[in-house]
Amino acid sequence: MLPKPLSPLDQLFLLLERRNQPMHVGGLQLLRPPADAPADFLARQVEKLREATAALPPFNLRLNRRFGNWFWVEDEAFDLEAHFRHLALPAPGRIRELLALVSQLHSAPLDRAKPLWELYVISGIEDGRFAIYAKIHHALVDGIAATRILRKSMSEDRSAELTPPWTLQRRNREREPGADLAIVGLARLIEGARTQAATIPVVTRELYRSIREARENPDFVSAFQAPRSILNQRITGSRRFAAQSYSLPRIRALLKPLHATVNDIVLAMCASALRRYLMDLEALPQKPLIAMVPLSLRRDDSDEGNQIAMILANLGTHLANPLDRLETIRGSVQDAKRRYSRLGGAAMLNYVAAVMAPAGLNIATGLAPRWQSFNVIISNVPGPKRPLYWSGASLEGMYPVSVITDGLALNITLTSYVDRLEFGIIACRRTLPRIQRLLDYLEQGLVELEEAAGELQPQPQPEAPAVKKSRRSRSQGA
Protein backbone atom coordinates (compact mmCIF):
# COMPACT_ATOMS: atom_id res chain seq x y z
CA MET A 1 0.00 0.00 0.00
CA LEU A 2 1.19 3.49 -0.82
CA PRO A 3 1.31 5.94 2.05
CA LYS A 4 -2.01 7.75 2.11
CA PRO A 5 -2.12 11.30 3.44
CA LEU A 6 -4.57 11.98 6.23
CA SER A 7 -7.45 14.28 5.42
CA PRO A 8 -7.35 17.70 7.12
CA LEU A 9 -10.12 16.51 9.41
CA ASP A 10 -8.18 13.42 10.42
CA GLN A 11 -5.06 15.53 10.97
CA LEU A 12 -7.13 17.85 13.12
CA PHE A 13 -7.90 14.97 15.48
CA LEU A 14 -4.20 14.34 15.91
CA LEU A 15 -3.53 18.04 16.41
CA LEU A 16 -6.26 18.28 19.04
CA GLU A 17 -5.10 15.22 20.94
CA ARG A 18 -3.43 15.91 24.24
CA ARG A 19 -2.70 13.92 27.32
CA ASN A 20 -5.89 15.18 28.97
CA GLN A 21 -7.89 14.89 25.77
CA PRO A 22 -7.36 11.61 23.92
CA MET A 23 -9.28 11.61 20.64
CA HIS A 24 -10.69 8.11 20.48
CA VAL A 25 -14.30 6.99 20.52
CA GLY A 26 -15.48 3.78 22.07
CA GLY A 27 -18.40 1.48 22.51
CA LEU A 28 -19.47 -0.93 25.22
CA GLN A 29 -21.60 -3.92 24.32
CA LEU A 30 -23.24 -6.31 26.74
CA LEU A 31 -23.90 -9.85 25.55
CA ARG A 32 -25.55 -12.93 27.00
CA PRO A 33 -24.24 -16.37 25.96
CA PRO A 34 -26.83 -18.77 24.51
CA ALA A 35 -28.80 -20.70 27.14
CA ASP A 36 -27.31 -24.00 25.98
CA ALA A 37 -23.75 -22.67 25.66
CA PRO A 38 -20.97 -24.96 26.89
CA ALA A 39 -18.85 -23.72 29.79
CA ASP A 40 -16.02 -22.83 27.46
CA PHE A 41 -18.24 -20.85 25.04
CA LEU A 42 -16.49 -17.56 25.59
CA ALA A 43 -13.00 -19.09 25.69
CA ARG A 44 -13.68 -20.62 22.27
CA GLN A 45 -14.92 -17.32 20.85
CA VAL A 46 -11.85 -15.57 22.20
CA GLU A 47 -9.66 -18.26 20.64
CA LYS A 48 -11.38 -17.64 17.30
CA LEU A 49 -10.72 -13.92 17.59
CA ARG A 50 -7.08 -14.57 18.51
CA GLU A 51 -6.65 -16.68 15.41
CA ALA A 52 -7.80 -13.84 13.14
CA THR A 53 -4.32 -12.36 13.18
CA ALA A 54 -4.57 -10.55 9.83
CA ALA A 55 -6.25 -7.15 9.95
CA LEU A 56 -7.73 -5.32 6.97
CA PRO A 57 -7.66 -1.52 6.49
CA PRO A 58 -8.13 0.62 8.47
CA PHE A 59 -7.26 -1.79 11.28
CA ASN A 60 -3.77 -2.49 9.91
CA LEU A 61 -2.85 1.15 9.31
CA ARG A 62 -0.44 3.08 11.46
CA LEU A 63 0.59 6.71 11.43
CA ASN A 64 3.75 7.81 9.72
CA ARG A 65 5.04 11.35 9.67
CA ARG A 66 6.86 12.45 6.53
CA PHE A 67 7.76 15.90 5.32
CA GLY A 68 5.83 17.40 8.19
CA ASN A 69 2.58 15.64 7.31
CA TRP A 70 0.83 12.58 8.60
CA PHE A 71 0.28 9.56 6.39
CA TRP A 72 -1.36 6.19 6.87
CA VAL A 73 0.95 3.30 6.07
CA GLU A 74 0.40 -0.40 6.42
CA ASP A 75 1.83 -1.69 9.67
CA GLU A 76 4.25 -4.40 8.60
CA ALA A 77 4.69 -5.42 12.22
CA PHE A 78 0.97 -5.63 12.97
CA ASP A 79 0.43 -7.88 15.96
CA LEU A 80 -3.07 -8.66 17.13
CA GLU A 81 -1.72 -9.27 20.65
CA ALA A 82 -1.24 -5.52 21.01
CA HIS A 83 -4.85 -4.77 20.07
CA PHE A 84 -7.04 -7.55 21.40
CA ARG A 85 -7.22 -8.63 25.03
CA HIS A 86 -9.37 -10.84 27.17
CA LEU A 87 -9.84 -9.46 30.67
CA ALA A 88 -12.21 -10.21 33.50
CA LEU A 89 -13.89 -8.09 36.13
CA PRO A 90 -12.71 -8.26 39.71
CA ALA A 91 -15.30 -9.67 42.11
CA PRO A 92 -18.17 -9.14 42.63
CA GLY A 93 -18.35 -8.39 38.91
CA ARG A 94 -21.25 -5.96 39.05
CA ILE A 95 -21.99 -3.43 36.32
CA ARG A 96 -20.28 -0.99 38.66
CA GLU A 97 -16.97 -2.84 38.26
CA LEU A 98 -17.53 -3.05 34.50
CA LEU A 99 -18.05 0.69 34.21
CA ALA A 100 -14.98 1.36 36.37
CA LEU A 101 -12.86 -0.83 34.11
CA VAL A 102 -14.24 0.77 30.95
CA SER A 103 -13.57 4.20 32.47
CA GLN A 104 -9.92 3.28 32.96
CA LEU A 105 -9.55 1.69 29.54
CA HIS A 106 -11.15 4.72 27.89
CA SER A 107 -8.87 7.11 29.77
CA ALA A 108 -5.66 5.67 28.32
CA PRO A 109 -4.46 7.17 25.04
CA LEU A 110 -3.79 4.84 22.10
CA ASP A 111 -0.16 4.18 21.16
CA ARG A 112 0.58 6.17 18.00
CA ALA A 113 3.30 3.72 16.96
CA LYS A 114 0.63 1.11 16.22
CA PRO A 115 -2.75 0.92 14.48
CA LEU A 116 -5.03 3.12 16.55
CA TRP A 117 -7.58 0.69 17.98
CA GLU A 118 -8.07 -1.80 20.80
CA LEU A 119 -10.78 -4.33 21.53
CA TYR A 120 -11.39 -6.02 24.88
CA VAL A 121 -13.55 -9.01 25.68
CA ILE A 122 -14.50 -8.69 29.33
CA SER A 123 -15.83 -11.69 31.22
CA GLY A 124 -16.68 -12.22 34.86
CA ILE A 125 -19.91 -10.22 34.99
CA GLU A 126 -21.88 -11.66 37.89
CA ASP A 127 -25.02 -12.43 35.90
CA GLY A 128 -23.17 -14.57 33.34
CA ARG A 129 -23.09 -11.95 30.63
CA PHE A 130 -19.88 -10.71 29.01
CA ALA A 131 -18.92 -7.40 27.46
CA ILE A 132 -16.97 -6.03 24.56
CA TYR A 133 -15.31 -2.66 24.87
CA ALA A 134 -13.74 -1.28 21.72
CA LYS A 135 -11.88 1.96 21.20
CA ILE A 136 -10.72 3.47 17.93
CA HIS A 137 -9.04 6.75 17.16
CA HIS A 138 -11.19 9.46 15.67
CA ALA A 139 -8.50 10.05 13.04
CA LEU A 140 -8.93 6.46 11.84
CA VAL A 141 -12.70 6.25 11.76
CA ASP A 142 -15.56 8.36 13.02
CA GLY A 143 -17.92 7.30 15.76
CA ILE A 144 -20.82 6.36 13.51
CA ALA A 145 -18.61 4.26 11.24
CA ALA A 146 -17.08 2.58 14.28
CA THR A 147 -20.55 1.66 15.51
CA ARG A 148 -21.42 0.36 12.06
CA ILE A 149 -18.30 -1.80 11.94
CA LEU A 150 -19.04 -3.34 15.31
CA ARG A 151 -22.63 -3.92 14.24
CA LYS A 152 -21.53 -5.59 11.00
CA SER A 153 -19.41 -8.01 12.98
CA MET A 154 -22.67 -9.26 14.48
CA SER A 155 -25.71 -10.70 12.80
CA GLU A 156 -29.49 -10.77 13.01
CA ASP A 157 -29.11 -14.52 12.54
CA ARG A 158 -28.69 -16.28 15.85
CA SER A 159 -26.79 -19.14 14.23
CA ALA A 160 -24.24 -16.96 12.40
CA GLU A 161 -20.64 -17.02 13.56
CA LEU A 162 -19.09 -13.76 14.63
CA THR A 163 -16.80 -11.92 12.24
CA PRO A 164 -13.82 -10.26 13.94
CA PRO A 165 -14.41 -6.54 13.32
CA TRP A 166 -10.82 -6.01 12.18
CA THR A 167 -11.31 -8.47 9.30
CA LEU A 168 -14.35 -6.66 7.86
CA GLN A 169 -14.05 -5.08 4.45
CA ARG A 170 -15.12 -1.46 4.79
CA ARG A 171 -17.56 0.06 2.34
CA ASN A 172 -15.64 3.29 1.97
CA ARG A 173 -14.00 5.84 4.20
CA GLU A 174 -16.51 8.56 3.49
CA ARG A 175 -17.49 10.30 6.65
CA GLU A 176 -21.09 10.65 7.50
CA PRO A 177 -22.21 13.74 9.31
CA GLY A 178 -23.84 13.24 12.63
CA ALA A 179 -22.19 13.29 15.98
CA ASP A 180 -19.08 14.64 14.32
CA LEU A 181 -20.59 17.31 12.14
CA ALA A 182 -19.42 19.94 14.59
CA ILE A 183 -15.82 19.15 13.92
CA VAL A 184 -16.45 18.41 10.26
CA GLY A 185 -17.74 21.95 9.90
CA LEU A 186 -14.64 23.34 11.50
CA ALA A 187 -12.41 21.13 9.42
CA ARG A 188 -14.01 22.21 6.14
CA LEU A 189 -13.18 25.78 7.03
CA ILE A 190 -9.54 24.92 7.17
CA GLU A 191 -9.57 22.38 4.37
CA GLY A 192 -6.85 23.15 1.87
CA ALA A 193 -4.69 24.72 4.50
CA ARG A 194 -2.23 22.74 6.60
CA THR A 195 -3.80 21.87 9.92
CA GLN A 196 -0.82 22.96 11.93
CA ALA A 197 -0.75 25.55 14.65
CA ALA A 198 0.38 28.06 12.02
CA THR A 199 -3.03 27.92 10.37
CA ILE A 200 -4.92 28.95 13.48
CA PRO A 201 -4.95 32.65 12.40
CA VAL A 202 -6.57 31.64 9.11
CA VAL A 203 -9.19 29.63 10.94
CA THR A 204 -9.76 32.45 13.35
CA ARG A 205 -10.30 34.97 10.57
CA GLU A 206 -12.74 32.69 8.80
CA LEU A 207 -14.60 31.98 11.98
CA TYR A 208 -14.88 35.62 12.96
CA ARG A 209 -16.25 36.44 9.53
CA SER A 210 -18.87 33.71 9.88
CA ILE A 211 -19.82 34.92 13.30
CA ARG A 212 -20.13 38.56 12.18
CA GLU A 213 -22.38 37.55 9.34
CA ALA A 214 -24.36 35.31 11.59
CA ARG A 215 -24.91 38.06 14.12
CA GLU A 216 -26.62 40.17 11.47
CA ASN A 217 -29.04 37.31 11.01
CA PRO A 218 -32.04 37.84 13.29
CA ASP A 219 -32.51 34.07 13.64
CA PHE A 220 -29.11 33.79 15.22
CA VAL A 221 -29.96 35.04 18.67
CA SER A 222 -29.26 31.84 20.55
CA ALA A 223 -25.68 31.18 19.55
CA PHE A 224 -23.89 32.94 22.40
CA GLN A 225 -26.43 32.64 25.14
CA ALA A 226 -25.05 29.65 27.00
CA PRO A 227 -24.17 30.37 30.63
CA ARG A 228 -20.85 29.47 32.19
CA SER A 229 -21.12 26.24 34.15
CA ILE A 230 -19.00 23.58 35.80
CA LEU A 231 -19.64 21.45 32.71
CA ASN A 232 -17.40 23.82 30.80
CA GLN A 233 -14.12 23.59 32.61
CA ARG A 234 -10.76 22.32 31.54
CA ILE A 235 -10.57 18.57 31.85
CA THR A 236 -8.01 16.06 33.08
CA GLY A 237 -7.21 12.74 31.42
CA SER A 238 -9.32 10.74 33.86
CA ARG A 239 -12.71 9.55 32.66
CA ARG A 240 -15.85 8.24 34.30
CA PHE A 241 -18.29 6.31 32.19
CA ALA A 242 -21.90 5.58 33.12
CA ALA A 243 -24.43 3.72 31.00
CA GLN A 244 -28.03 2.64 31.22
CA SER A 245 -30.94 1.51 29.04
CA TYR A 246 -34.35 3.24 29.06
CA SER A 247 -37.55 1.85 27.56
CA LEU A 248 -38.55 3.28 24.19
CA PRO A 249 -42.21 2.19 24.59
CA ARG A 250 -42.37 4.19 27.83
CA ILE A 251 -41.04 7.20 25.96
CA ARG A 252 -43.33 6.65 22.97
CA ALA A 253 -46.34 6.48 25.25
CA LEU A 254 -45.66 10.12 26.10
CA LEU A 255 -45.46 11.45 22.56
CA LYS A 256 -49.14 11.99 21.93
CA PRO A 257 -50.21 13.24 25.37
CA LEU A 258 -47.29 15.65 25.50
CA HIS A 259 -47.26 16.56 21.77
CA ALA A 260 -43.57 15.79 21.70
CA THR A 261 -41.04 13.81 19.65
CA VAL A 262 -38.74 11.12 21.04
CA ASN A 263 -35.97 13.66 20.76
CA ASP A 264 -37.94 16.22 22.79
CA ILE A 265 -38.49 13.63 25.53
CA VAL A 266 -34.81 12.63 25.51
CA LEU A 267 -33.76 16.26 25.85
CA ALA A 268 -36.31 16.77 28.62
CA MET A 269 -34.95 13.76 30.48
CA CYS A 270 -31.40 15.14 30.10
CA ALA A 271 -32.54 18.60 31.17
CA SER A 272 -34.18 17.23 34.31
CA ALA A 273 -31.13 15.08 35.11
CA LEU A 274 -28.66 17.94 34.58
CA ARG A 275 -30.79 20.28 36.67
CA ARG A 276 -30.87 17.83 39.59
CA TYR A 277 -27.18 17.01 39.22
CA LEU A 278 -26.12 20.66 39.21
CA MET A 279 -28.48 21.53 42.08
CA ASP A 280 -26.84 18.78 44.17
CA LEU A 281 -23.53 20.55 43.56
CA GLU A 282 -25.06 24.00 44.08
CA ALA A 283 -23.84 24.82 40.61
CA LEU A 284 -27.02 25.30 38.56
CA PRO A 285 -26.64 28.43 36.40
CA GLN A 286 -29.46 30.96 36.57
CA LYS A 287 -29.68 30.95 32.79
CA PRO A 288 -30.79 27.77 31.02
CA LEU A 289 -28.17 25.31 29.80
CA ILE A 290 -27.80 25.03 26.03
CA ALA A 291 -27.25 21.63 24.44
CA MET A 292 -25.79 21.03 21.01
CA VAL A 293 -27.84 18.31 19.37
CA PRO A 294 -27.17 16.66 16.00
CA LEU A 295 -30.65 16.28 14.52
CA SER A 296 -31.99 14.52 11.47
CA LEU A 297 -34.12 16.62 9.12
CA ARG A 298 -35.07 13.61 7.01
CA ARG A 299 -38.75 13.01 6.44
CA ASP A 300 -38.47 9.71 4.61
CA ASP A 301 -37.02 6.36 5.66
CA SER A 302 -33.98 6.44 3.36
CA ASP A 303 -30.70 5.41 4.90
CA GLU A 304 -28.57 7.77 2.85
CA GLY A 305 -28.21 11.49 2.63
CA ASN A 306 -26.77 14.26 4.65
CA GLN A 307 -29.92 15.85 5.99
CA ILE A 308 -28.54 16.12 9.48
CA ALA A 309 -27.99 19.43 11.18
CA MET A 310 -26.64 20.69 14.46
CA ILE A 311 -29.11 22.55 16.55
CA LEU A 312 -28.74 24.39 19.80
CA ALA A 313 -31.51 23.41 22.17
CA ASN A 314 -32.50 25.47 25.17
CA LEU A 315 -32.83 22.90 27.96
CA GLY A 316 -34.89 25.14 30.22
CA THR A 317 -32.92 24.01 33.25
CA HIS A 318 -33.86 27.22 35.08
CA LEU A 319 -37.50 26.06 35.19
CA ALA A 320 -38.76 23.86 38.02
CA ASN A 321 -41.80 22.50 36.21
CA PRO A 322 -41.04 19.59 33.86
CA LEU A 323 -43.76 20.61 31.41
CA ASP A 324 -42.38 24.14 31.25
CA ARG A 325 -38.95 22.67 30.49
CA LEU A 326 -40.40 20.42 27.80
CA GLU A 327 -42.20 23.39 26.27
CA THR A 328 -38.96 25.40 26.15
CA ILE A 329 -37.07 22.51 24.59
CA ARG A 330 -39.78 21.83 22.01
CA GLY A 331 -39.96 25.49 21.08
CA SER A 332 -36.23 25.87 20.56
CA VAL A 333 -36.01 22.63 18.58
CA GLN A 334 -38.93 23.60 16.36
CA ASP A 335 -37.45 27.05 15.76
CA ALA A 336 -34.19 25.48 14.75
CA LYS A 337 -35.88 23.01 12.42
CA ARG A 338 -37.83 25.81 10.75
CA ARG A 339 -34.65 27.82 10.34
CA TYR A 340 -32.83 24.89 8.78
CA SER A 341 -35.65 24.12 6.39
CA ARG A 342 -35.20 27.61 4.89
CA LEU A 343 -31.45 27.21 4.47
CA GLY A 344 -29.66 25.56 1.55
CA GLY A 345 -26.73 23.19 2.05
CA ALA A 346 -23.99 25.81 1.92
CA ALA A 347 -25.90 28.26 4.07
CA MET A 348 -26.53 25.54 6.61
CA LEU A 349 -22.89 24.66 6.73
CA ASN A 350 -21.95 28.29 7.30
CA TYR A 351 -24.48 28.51 10.02
CA VAL A 352 -23.21 25.36 11.70
CA ALA A 353 -19.66 26.62 11.41
CA ALA A 354 -20.62 29.91 13.00
CA VAL A 355 -22.50 28.29 15.83
CA MET A 356 -19.65 25.93 16.37
CA ALA A 357 -16.94 28.53 16.03
CA PRO A 358 -16.22 29.36 19.65
CA ALA A 359 -16.17 25.73 20.70
CA GLY A 360 -14.12 24.72 17.67
CA LEU A 361 -11.74 27.55 18.25
CA ASN A 362 -11.28 26.57 21.85
CA ILE A 363 -10.59 23.04 20.82
CA ALA A 364 -8.06 24.08 18.20
CA THR A 365 -6.22 26.68 20.25
CA GLY A 366 -6.55 25.29 23.72
CA LEU A 367 -7.62 28.71 24.99
CA ALA A 368 -10.12 28.89 27.78
CA PRO A 369 -13.63 29.56 26.47
CA ARG A 370 -14.41 33.24 26.03
CA TRP A 371 -17.88 32.60 24.81
CA GLN A 372 -19.83 29.52 25.59
CA SER A 373 -22.16 28.77 22.73
CA PHE A 374 -23.36 25.58 24.38
CA ASN A 375 -22.77 23.63 27.56
CA VAL A 376 -23.10 20.00 26.59
CA ILE A 377 -23.37 17.78 23.53
CA ILE A 378 -26.33 15.37 23.47
CA SER A 379 -26.14 13.00 20.49
CA ASN A 380 -28.72 10.44 19.49
CA VAL A 381 -27.15 7.97 17.07
CA PRO A 382 -29.54 5.65 15.17
CA GLY A 383 -28.99 2.03 16.15
CA PRO A 384 -30.10 -1.44 15.11
CA LYS A 385 -33.86 -2.04 15.08
CA ARG A 386 -33.64 -5.81 15.35
CA PRO A 387 -31.81 -7.96 17.91
CA LEU A 388 -28.22 -8.81 17.02
CA TYR A 389 -26.22 -11.93 17.84
CA TRP A 390 -22.57 -12.78 18.10
CA SER A 391 -22.07 -16.49 17.55
CA GLY A 392 -25.44 -17.05 19.21
CA ALA A 393 -24.80 -14.73 22.14
CA SER A 394 -27.47 -12.06 22.18
CA LEU A 395 -26.56 -8.40 22.25
CA GLU A 396 -28.45 -7.01 25.25
CA GLY A 397 -27.04 -3.52 25.35
CA MET A 398 -24.75 -1.21 23.38
CA TYR A 399 -23.56 2.04 24.85
CA PRO A 400 -21.53 4.74 23.07
CA VAL A 401 -18.38 5.95 24.86
CA SER A 402 -17.62 9.32 23.34
CA VAL A 403 -14.97 12.06 23.46
CA ILE A 404 -14.85 15.04 25.79
CA THR A 405 -12.64 18.08 25.42
CA ASP A 406 -11.50 21.11 27.36
CA GLY A 407 -14.60 23.22 27.90
CA LEU A 408 -16.97 20.31 27.33
CA ALA A 409 -16.41 18.01 30.28
CA LEU A 410 -19.60 15.99 29.75
CA ASN A 411 -20.96 14.17 26.74
CA ILE A 412 -24.25 12.29 26.57
CA THR A 413 -24.52 9.99 23.58
CA LEU A 414 -27.37 7.58 23.15
CA THR A 415 -28.31 5.03 20.59
CA SER A 416 -31.50 3.14 19.92
CA TYR A 417 -31.48 -0.63 20.03
CA VAL A 418 -34.69 -2.59 19.38
CA ASP A 419 -37.05 -1.20 22.03
CA ARG A 420 -34.58 0.70 24.20
CA LEU A 421 -32.57 3.87 24.25
CA GLU A 422 -29.03 3.13 25.39
CA PHE A 423 -27.38 6.07 27.14
CA GLY A 424 -23.61 6.38 27.42
CA ILE A 425 -22.39 9.25 29.58
CA ILE A 426 -18.73 10.15 29.63
CA ALA A 427 -17.17 12.87 31.75
CA CYS A 428 -13.96 14.06 33.30
CA ARG A 429 -13.83 12.25 36.63
CA ARG A 430 -11.93 15.07 38.36
CA THR A 431 -14.06 17.92 37.06
CA LEU A 432 -17.51 16.34 37.47
CA PRO A 433 -18.00 14.13 40.53
CA ARG A 434 -20.34 11.12 40.61
CA ILE A 435 -21.83 11.37 37.15
CA GLN A 436 -23.47 7.97 37.67
CA ARG A 437 -26.13 9.94 39.55
CA LEU A 438 -27.25 11.21 36.17
CA LEU A 439 -28.57 7.71 35.41
CA ASP A 440 -31.06 7.83 38.26
CA TYR A 441 -31.89 11.41 37.48
CA LEU A 442 -32.65 10.50 33.85
CA GLU A 443 -35.12 7.92 35.15
CA GLN A 444 -36.63 10.50 37.49
CA GLY A 445 -36.91 12.88 34.56
CA LEU A 446 -38.88 10.25 32.66
CA VAL A 447 -41.12 9.54 35.65
CA GLU A 448 -41.84 13.28 36.03
CA LEU A 449 -43.02 13.43 32.45
CA GLU A 450 -45.10 10.28 32.87
CA GLU A 451 -46.78 11.79 35.92
CA ALA A 452 -47.39 15.04 34.06
CA ALA A 453 -48.81 13.15 31.09
CA GLY A 454 -50.99 11.12 33.45
CA GLU A 455 -52.46 14.33 34.86
CA LEU A 456 -53.12 15.67 31.37
CA GLN A 457 -54.59 12.40 30.16
CA PRO A 458 -55.61 9.94 32.87
CA GLN A 459 -56.13 7.06 30.39
CA PRO A 460 -52.78 6.51 28.65
CA GLN A 461 -52.94 4.83 25.25
CA PRO A 462 -51.99 1.17 25.00
CA GLU A 463 -48.36 0.73 24.03
CA ALA A 464 -48.75 -1.07 20.70
CA PRO A 465 -50.18 1.80 18.62
CA ALA A 466 -47.62 4.20 20.03
CA VAL A 467 -44.82 1.90 18.95
CA LYS A 468 -46.25 1.57 15.49
CA LYS A 469 -47.00 5.21 15.10
CA SER A 470 -43.56 6.50 15.91
CA ARG A 471 -41.64 4.01 13.86
CA ARG A 472 -40.27 6.77 11.68
CA SER A 473 -38.77 8.65 14.53
CA ARG A 474 -37.43 5.47 16.05
CA SER A 475 -34.10 5.34 14.33
CA GLN A 476 -33.56 9.06 14.01
CA GLY A 477 -34.39 10.07 17.52
CA ALA A 478 -36.42 12.95 16.10
Q: What are the residue numbers of the active site?
A: 138
Measured distance between the N- and C-terminal CA atoms of the chain, rounded to whole angstroms: 42
Least Cβ distance, residue 128 to a copy of itself (angstroms): 11
Question: Interface residues for a copy of itself in 157-196 (CB under 8 A)?
Answer: none
Q: Tell me how far apart the alpha carbons of residues 203 and 358 are, in angstroms, rounded to a whole number.
A: 11
Residue 42 near a copy of itself by CB under 8 A: yes
In three-state secondary structure terms, 238 is coil
- Minimum distance between the CB of residue 158 and a copy of itself, rounded to whole angstroms? 24
Separation CA 37–CA 118 (nearest Å): 27
Min CB(58)–a copy of itself separation in Å: 19
Could you give the string, one character per residue 323-352, with x where binding to a copy of itself holds by CB under 8 A and - elsewhere? ------------------------------
Integer angstrom CA distances of residue 120 from 86, 87, 145: 6, 7, 19
Q: How far is the CB of 77 from a copy of itself (least distance, A)?
A: 6
Number of residues binding to a copy of itself, judged by CB under 8 A:
33
| Minimum gap (Å) between residue 222 Cβ and a copy of itself | 35
Nearer to a copy of itself among residue 56 and residue 87 (C-beta): 87
Establish if 48 lies at the interface with a copy of itself (CB under 8 A). no
The beta-strand segments (E) located in 128-213 are: 130-137
By beta-carbon proximity to a copy of itself, the closer residue of 104 and 461 is 104
Q: Kind and range of the H or E element at 292?
A: strand 290-296
- Residue of the chain from 4, 7, 20, 227 that contacts a copy of itself (CB under 8 A): 20
Residues 83-142 binding a copy of itself (CB under 8 A) are: 85-91, 93, 101, 104, 107-109, 111, 113-114, 121, 123-124
Residue 261 Cβ vs a copy of itself, minimum distance, rounded to whole Å: 39
Among 81, 216, 303, 304, binds a copy of itself (CB under 8 A): 81
Contacts with 269 (C-beta within 8 Å, 6 or more apart), sequence order:
246, 442, 445, 446, 449
State which of residues 37, 52, 56, 82 lies at the interface with a copy of itself (CB under 8 A): 82
The one-letter amino acid code at 275 reads R
Question: Which positions from 406 through 445 interact with a copy of itself, judged by CB under 8 A?
Answer: 429-430
Q: What's the angle, vertex CA 250, arms to CA 244 and CA 255, rounded to 5?
A: 120
Instruction: Give the closest residue to 244 by CA, choosing from 405, 57, 445.
Output: 445
**Cβ nearer to a copy of itself, comparing 56 with 88:** 88
Q: What angle (nearest 5°) sits at the alpha carbon of residue 170, between those of residues 166 and 175?
A: 115
DSSP string for 426-460: EEETTTS--TTHHHHHHHHHHHHHHHHHHHH-SSP
Using CA atoms, how far apart are residues 154 and 264, in angstroms rounded to an integer? 31
Q: Which is nearer to a copy of itself, 118 or 264 (CB)?
A: 118
What lies within 8 Å, CB to CB, of 325 at 6+ separation is: 268, 271, 272, 275, 315, 316, 317, 319
Stretch that binds a copy of itself, among 234-242, 282-290, 387-395, 414-422 (CB under 8 A): 234-242
For the CA atoms of 33, 96, 241, 118, the dihedral, rounded to the nearest 10 degrees, stands at -40
Return the number of the residue (209 or 430) whose C-beta is nearest a copy of itself.
430
- Residues 236-255 close enough to bind a copy of itself by CB under 8 A: 236-238
Between residues 38 and 249, which has the closer beta carbon with respect to a copy of itself?
38
Residue number with CB closer to a copy of itself (148 or 240): 240
Give 392's contacts (C-beta < 8 A, 6+ positions apart).
33, 34, 37, 158, 159
The minimum distance between CB 402 and a copy of itself, in angstroms, equals 19
Q: Is the peptide bond before 460 cis (omega within 30 degrees of 0)?
A: no
Helix H or strand E segment including 333: helix 322-342
110 versus 179: smaller Cβ distance to a copy of itself:
110
**46 contributes a contact to a copy of itself by CB under 8 A:** yes
Q: Draw the binding track, 262-301, toward a copy of itself (x: CB under 8 A; -: no contact).
A: ----------------------------------------
Least separation, in Å, of the C-beta of 126 and a copy of itself? 12
Phi-psi region of 56 (alpha: psi -120 to 50; beta: other; left: phi over 0): beta
Give me the least distance between CB of 107 and a copy of itself, in Å please: 6
238 or 394: CB nearest a copy of itself: 238
Residue ranges in contact with a copy of itself by CB under 8 A: 19-20, 42-43, 46, 77, 79, 81-82, 85-91, 93, 101, 104, 107-109, 111, 113-114, 121, 123-124, 236-238, 429-430
